Amino acid sequence: MQSWDVIIIGAGAAGLMCAIEAGKRGRKVLVLDHATKLCEKIRISGGGRCNFTNIHTTAADFLSNNRHFAKSALARYTPRDFLDLVEKHSIKWHEKTLGQLFCDTSAQEIINLLLEECRSASVTIKHPVTVKNVRPLPKQASGEKFSLESSDGTLCCHSLVIATGGLSIPKIGATDFGHRIAKQFGVPLTPLRPALVPLTLDAADKEFCKTLSGVSQNCITSVKKQKFQENLLFTHRGLSGPAILQISSYWEPGKSITLNLLPDHNIEADLTAAENSKKTLTNVLAPFLSKRFAQEWVERYAQNRTPADLGSKKLRKIAEDIHNWVITPAGDEGYAKAEVTLGGVDTKDLSSATMESKTQPGLFFIGEVMDVTGHLGGFNFQWAWACGHAAGQAV
Ligand code: FDA
C-alpha cells in the first residue's frame, strides 16, 4: 500500500493550488484525476483566455448559505497574490472590464503555471486514475486516516482533499464524486442546481427572442434586491449574456426576473418630447434599443403609431414596460451549459480557516464542490485559489 501525507482528488484549479502550497511545505503530495487531459475547465474558461481573477473580489461576490464563510480564505490569498504568480511566470494579462483579469494569449498559460509550480513543489500527479472507493482507516500509529482503492492500486493518506469540482459540463469530466463522498461521510450538502446559466422561455417569449437572436442590449437584470448591469443577449433558445448568467444564480424556478432595458436613460422623456410626437414609435426607440429590437418590441408590446396618436397614459405604460420588463423563465439550459453549480458541501461542516470537515478530521473539501459560488467575472477562480491555498497550509 502506497502511503502519502496528502492525497488530492481532482487536478483542477483548487486541487492544484492546494497541492502547490502543501508541496512547498514539504508534504508528500499525490494528486489524482480521472481525466486524460488535465485542467479542461481552465482551458475553456474565459473564452479560452481564462478570466483568472477579479481585482475587486470580496465575500459579497459569492453565494453561500453562510455569506461570511469565504472571508477568511479570501483575505489570506488575494487577487494580488495570484497576480504575483502570473507575473512570476511572465504571463501577459489585461483587465477587460469590471476588474476582470484575462490572459492576453491563452488559458494554457495558467495551466502551465500550475503544472510548473507543482513540479517545483515536488507534487506527484497521476491521471487518468479512477478512485473506486474511499474508506476511513481505524486509528493507527502511523497516522493514516483514509485508504483509497484506485485503478493505480491501494493508496492511503493522512489528509484527503476532495477537489472534484461541480456538475457543470459533464462532457469534459464533471462528476458528482465529491457530493457522494460527502454523503458517505455524513457531511451535509445544500441543494444543487445549475448557475451562471442561460435561461429558457415559454413558447411565446421564445418566439420573440428567436427573432432577435444575436441582438445584445445593455440592461439591469434584477431578482428582489440583487441587480446586475451588463449585456443581455437574445438567443434562439431564450436569454443569455452576462446580465442573464449573473441573475440566473439568484433566480428560482417559477419566479420572475425584471429587466430594465434602458438603465442609463429615461425613455419617457423621449416618448413625450414635442419634437418626437409625429415620428413612429420605432423611430423614437431605435436610437436607444437598436433598430431590430425596437421594431420587434413595438410589434409585440405596443402599436407602431406616433406618440401623438398614443396619448400620455399609453406612452407612460410603454416607458414602464421598457424600464421594468418582467419575464418568467421556463427553466435554464442545465449543467451542459452552466458555468458553475450552486450549492454543494455545506460550509456549516467546514472550517473557514482550513476547509477541513469539523466532523471528519483529515477530510477537506475545496473549490466548486463546496457551497460557495461566485458571480461571473473571475470570482470562481479566485475562490479556487484562495480555498486551495488555505487547505494547502493545513493538510
Ligand atoms: P474543476 O472543475 O476545475 O476541477 C475538478 C477536477 O476534478 C477536474 O480536473 C475533473 O476531471 C476532476 N474530477 C471530477 N470528478 C472526478 C472523479 N470522479 N475522479 C477523479 N477526478 C475527478 N471561472 C472564473 O473564475 N473565470 C472564468 O473565466 C471562468 N470561465 C468558465 C467557463 C466555462 C465554460 C465553465 C464551465 C466554467 C468557467 N468558470 C470560470 C468556472 C471555473 O472553471 C470553476 O469554478 C473552477 O474550475 C472550479 O475549480 P475546481 O478546482 O473546484 O473544479
Q: How far apart are CA 285 and CA 202, in angstroms?
A: 26
Confidence label for 300 from pLDDT (cuts 50, 70 and 90): confident
Fold classified for 2-193+338-392: FAD/NAD(P)-binding domain (3.50.50)
Residue 314 has pLDDT above 80, yes or no: yes
Q: Which fold has domain 199-332?
A: Elongation Factor Tu (Ef-tu); domain 3 (2.40.30)
Indicate whether residue 49 lines ligand 1 (CB < 6 A).
no
Distance separating alpha carbons of residues 350 and 86, to the nearest angstrom: 29
Residue 48 has pLDDT above 80, yes or no: yes
Torsion over CA of 210, 215, 217 and 223, rounded to 10 degrees?
Answer: 30
Which ligand 1 atom sits closest to the C-alpha of 164? 7
The minimum-distance atom of ligand 1 relative to the CA of 388 is 51
What's the average model confidence in pLDDT over 92-121? 97
Pocket test for ligand 1, best of 94, 98, 164, 337 (most atoms within 8 A of CB): 164
Provide mean pLDDT across the span 294-311.
Answer: 87
Beta carbon of 175 within 6 Å of any ligand 1 atom: yes
In the chain, % of residues over pLDDT 70: 100
Ligand 1: centre distance to CA 387 (Å): 14
Q: Is the pLDDT of residue 43 over 90?
A: yes
Mean pLDDT rounded to a whole number for the chain: 96
- pLDDT for 15: 98
CA of 301 to the centre of ligand 1 (A): 41
In sequence order, the β-bridge partners of residue 156 are 3, 147
pLDDT score recorded for residue 41: 97
Distance between start and end Cα atoms, the chain: 20
State the closest ligand 1 atom to the C-alpha of 177, by its place in the atom list counted from 1.
Answer: 18
The reply to whether ligand 1 has any atom less than 6 angstroms from the CB of 96 is: no
Give me the mean pLDDT over the 341-361 stretch.
Answer: 98
pLDDT digits (tens, 9 = 90+) for 130-186: 999 999 999 877 889 999 999 999 999 999 999 999 999 999 999 999 999 999 999
The answer, yes or no, to whether residue 291 has pLDDT greater than 90, is no
**Domain map (residue ranges) of the chain:** 2-193+338-392, 199-332
Instruction: Report the pLDDT value the prediction gives residue 205, as an integer from 0 to 100.
Output: 85
What is the per-residue pLDDT across 28-40, written as a single tens digit (0 to 9) for each? 999 999 999 999 9
pTM, whole model, 2 decimals? 0.96
pLDDT score, position 247 = 98
- pLDDT for the residue 292: 87
45 CA to centre of ligand 1 in angstroms:
9
Q: What is the pLDDT of residue 20?
A: 98
pLDDT in tens, 253-272: 999 999 999 999 999 999 99
The pLDDT of residue 161 is 98
**So what's the pLDDT on residue 208?**
85
